Structure 1
Amino acid sequence: MGIGIVIKSFFDSFQIIKEAKLRKFYFFPGIIGIVLFMFFVGIGDFISVNLTDFLENFFQLYKHHSVISIFIKILIWLCSILFYYLIYKSLLLVILSPILGYVSERVETHLTGKKYNFTMKDNISFIIRSIDIGLRSFIKQMIGTCIIMLLGFIFPINLSIPFLIFILQGYFTGFSFMDYTLERYRLSSSESMNFLKKQRVCSAISGIIFTLLFLIPFFGIFIAPLVTCVAVTKITVEILNNTPETIKK
């Protein structure tokens, strides 16, 4: 699926939200996100101050040239911000998985007329799977991010570190949103990963757009989860219905 179609799906998502009467779901992710953000600010501020003091003493930064000391402090600060963001975003998506899973189902019903009659057991298994996918994605993101950071000592790879991390985050974030639809089609974890490999560009672009929306001050927390869920559901349903061979091994 082309990049243009992915971007168009994000623009179309606003109309779908209106037609499917999903506007109230702007607020649930936003409120949960703000509460979680305030919690992280409190915890993060305490940990960051103590961590920075510890690293300053451990590496004895006061003995280095002032410019080097400032550079190392900034590097520590940036790494801390990145780490907290990864945890915050991943935890938020895990908490929102039951809500976004329901939204994804409503979107597919609106687009195709297909209805699902899941039992309580099915719903619980979907929630468990969403949490499992979220945790697995977080672990892989952290490992991938650490590898990229280590490659930063190699020139000229170090010049592209932010770009590589951005793509990596987008890749796994997009897959988390795709899986809301894949689980309804009863795809196993291996089949879902096979689907992701064939749609890696679509997944990465979707995740990147989510990140860009999410970083909009204040409003991003409200609009990014819902808009991305709707757009990615539309994209995934179209792929599954038009090219079912994409899920074959």
Structure 2
Amino acid sequence: MKAINYHIKGIITSLEQLFKGKYLIYFLPGLILTGIFLYFRSRFTEIDLTTGYWWLSWFDSGVSKALSIVDFLFEQLYIFIVLTVLSPFFTALGEKYDRELTGKVTEGGILRFINDMIRMIFVVILSLFLEFIFLVIYWLISKIFGFSEMVDTIIYFSIASFFFGFAFYDFALERYEKGVFSSLGFAFSAPIGMIIIGAIFQWLYMIPYIGIPVAPVLVVMISTVAYAYYIKQLPKSKQLSNE
């Protein structure tokens, strides 16, 4: 399938560029943010509000569950910050990489910076909302037909991957002046591509400590290449610069 082929080319091309030492600077913001997150998370895990008394075990259990929920929400907030606050860096990465791939030059400026930030916040919120809707719909269908746990796991993972993929593909789509809903239309017209990018992000995210700072940079690069193939900007007769 062409979607798989485009993303294989995206992976190969992007890794080649990284091994040449290019674009490594774009890992730095995520690494700094991750260091801050891990520091505060380690301090949070040191908090112990339990009593230690057996006759208050119900209270201790409630406190433990509450802290687990707070930790989960803290992690989700961290992911949200990576995707939104760092979006200008990912935008700059996509523009520079696209320029080397296809020769496309995109104008910047402070207004573009602000617009990118606002757009990504909207895209992330829209993605989370639609993902929730699709998950609920599938959950109801699964309950009615009694699908197996393995099928549920695959479908839930695929739904999450699709909307992560949409969020990351939007960097390329915005660069080619597509509106948010036009981007969403492209996502539904190329679901395999969205799922591939989202799955790569989720798999990389599972790598302890380095997953989150590494994953966005790689998937932005891979989706930049793949989108250039989708819209026939690649292949070019001229190969990437070896500089």
1:239 aligns with 2:227: no
Match of 1:10 in 2: 11
1:103-142 residue pairs with structure 2 within 5 A?
103-142=93-132
Spell out the pairing of 1:9-88 with structure 2 (5 A cutoff): 9-18=10-19, 21-39=22-40, 86-88=76-78
**RMSD, aligned α-carbons:** 3.6
- Alpha carbons of structure 1 residues 18 and 107: separation in structure 2 relative to 1, 3 Å: farther
Q: TM-score of the superposition, structure 1-length normalised?
A: 0.74
Which residue type is aligned with residue 33 of structure 1? Answer: T
Moved more, 16-25 or 221-230: 16-25
- 1:37/1:88 contact within 8 Å kept: no
- Residues 168-207 of structure 1 mapped to structure 2, 5 A cutoff: 168-207=159-198
Q: CA deviation at 1:214?
A: 1.6
- 88-97 vs 141-150, greater mean Cα deviation: 141-150
Partner Cα separation in structure 2 for residue 8 and residue 140 of structure 1? 29
Distance 1:45 1:148 in 2: 38
Distance in 2 of aligned mates of 1:135 and 1:122: 20
| Greater CA drift, 184-193 or 98-107 | 184-193
Q: Is the 8 A contact 2:34 2:209 kept in 1?
A: no
Distance 1:78 1:201, change over 3 A: farther
Distance of aligned partners of 1:17 and 1:30 in 2 relative to their CA distance in 1, 3 Å threshold = same
Show CA shifts across 1:147-198 (max 9, x none).
Answer: 5556564522444222222111110111111111111211122211111111
* Shift in alpha-carbon separation, 1:183–1:143, aligned structure 2, 3 A: same
| Separation in 2, partners of 1:37, 1:208 | 24
Q: Contact 2:6 / 2:225 at 8 angstroms: preserved in 1? A: no
Whichever residue aligns with residue 15 of structure 1, its letter is: E
| Aligned equivalent of 1:216 | 207
Please state how far the C-alpha of 1:54 moved relative to its aligned partner: 7.4
Letter of the structure 1 residue corresponding to residue 14 of structure 2: S
1:108 deviates by 0.4
* Preserved CA contact (<8 Å) 2:14 2:221: yes
Aligned to 2:151: 160
Q: Percent identity?
A: 23
Residue 90 of structure 1: aligned partner: 80
Conserved? CA contact 2:134–2:159, under 8 Å: yes
Give the aligned length.
Answer: 225
Give, in whole Å, the separation in 2 of the partners of 1:224 and 1:44: 25
- 1:136 shift after superposition: 1.4
Structure 1: any 5+ residue segments left out of the alignment?
A: 58-72, 244-249
When you count helix as a share of all residues, which structure comes out higher? 1
What is the distance in 1 between the residues matched to 2:150 and 2:46? Answer: 29
CA distance, structure 2, for counterparts of residue 26 and residue 161 of structure 1: 34
Counterpart contact for 1:182–1:192, Cα < 8 Å = yes
